[in-house]
Structure 1
Amino acid sequence: MPEELPLNINIKEPRWDQSTFEGRARHFFMVTDPRNVLLGPKVLDEAKNIIVNYRNGVRTPGLTEDQLWRAKYVYDSAFHPDTGEKMVLIGRMSAQVPMNMTITGCMLTFYRTTPAVIFWQWINQSFNAVVNYTNRSGDAPITNSQLGTAYISATTGAVVTALGLKSLTKHLPSLIGRFVPFAAVAAANCINIPLMRQRELKLGIPITDENGNRLGESTKAAKQAIAQVVVSRIGMAAPAMAIPPVIMNILEKRAFLKRNPWMNAPLQVGLVGFCLVFATPLCCALFPQKSSMKVSSLEPEIRDRILAKSPGTETVYFNKGL
Structure 2
Amino acid sequence: MNSYLSERVIEDILAADKSILSEVLSVNVSDLSIIDRQKIVSSGKLDLLYLCKDEILLIELKIVPFYKDIITQINNYEKDLIDLQNKNKIARSKIKKIILVVGCRESDYKSCKENNIELLVYKPEGILSRYYENFKELSTFLKIQSGDFGVVRLGLIKNSLNYLAQGLSIKEICKLEMKSEKTIRNKISVAQHLNLVSKFKANFFLTDSGNSFVELGDQILDDRLNQHQIDLISNFINENPFYSPITYTIYSLIESVFVLSKTSYPVPKDSLKDYFVKSVAKTETWRMPRARETATYIFSNYACELEYLVKVDNQFFLSPKGIQAILLLQLNRSIKLIETRN
Tell me: higher relative CO, structure 1 or 2? Use CA pairs within 8 A at least 6 residues apart.
1
Bigger strand fraction: 2
